[in-house]
Amino acid sequence: METKWLLSKVPDDKSRFEIELEFVQMLSNPWYLNFLAQHKYFEDEAFLQYLEYMEYWREPEYVKFIIYPTCLHMLTLLKNPQFRNDISRADLSKQVNDEIYYEWLGKGLQQYGSADDATLSQPQQEEDEKKVDVKKENE
């Protein structure tokens, strides 16, 4: 599989930056990694060298553009031949996807409180407070 032709088609540095940023962040999707594994990309030495080249996204001047930091962890995992082989299995892809989701969910709950707290709207809170006040008046 020849990948050099892709880089030669990129018109300018800005476009190349955007393409590489999009690609590295796609690595945070276990189902995309599953696709790459099933289509034998991880057996292509040129592709593995491209993944090594993507390490520059860890540098402070570039990492600030990363929205999905999980992609950098996946980039590390992709250095392991066993992981590259195992991610071709749908059950492992689902497990990794679930772990990422629950990690994300846990951080959201820590930041915003429980799901019950987050769904209680301001008008609902005011209505509940009025009911408490009416109860107090009737006592």
DSSP codes joined into one string, 77-115? HTTSHHHHHHTTSHHHHHHHHHHHHHHHHHHHHHHH--H
Q: Domain total for the chain?
A: 1
Residue 104 pLDDT greater than 90, yes or no: no
**Which of helix, strand or coil describes residue 22?**
helix
In the chain, the percentage of residues whose pLDDT exceeds 70 is 68
Selected residue with higher pLDDT from 81 and 106:
81
Per-residue model confidence (pLDDT) at position 33: 96
Work out the number of other CB atoms within 10 angstroms of the CB of residue 14.
9
Instruction: Please state whether 113 falls in left (phi above 0), alpha (psi between -120 and 50) or beta.
Output: left
Per-residue model confidence (pLDDT) at position 120: 39
What is the dihedral angle through the alpha carbons of 80, 75, 9, 32, rounded to the nearest 10 degrees?
A: 90
In the chain, the percentage of residues whose pLDDT exceeds 90 is 59
Cα separation, 12 vs 111, whole angstroms: 40
Q: Which residue has the tokens 């799901």?
A: 115
Per-residue model confidence (pLDDT) at position 85: 95
- Read off the CATH number of the domain in which 122 is found: 1.10.10.1340
Tens of pLDDT, residues 62-100: 999 999 999 999 999 999 999 999 999 999 999 999 998
Is 0.75 topped by the overall pTM?
no
Query: Domain range spanning residue 129?
Result: 4-138
Long-range own/partner contacts, residues 41-44 (CB < 8 A, 24 or more apart): 41/1, 42/78, 42/84, 42/85, 44/1, 44/3
Per-residue model confidence (pLDDT) at position 112: 67
Per-residue model confidence (pLDDT) at position 35: 97
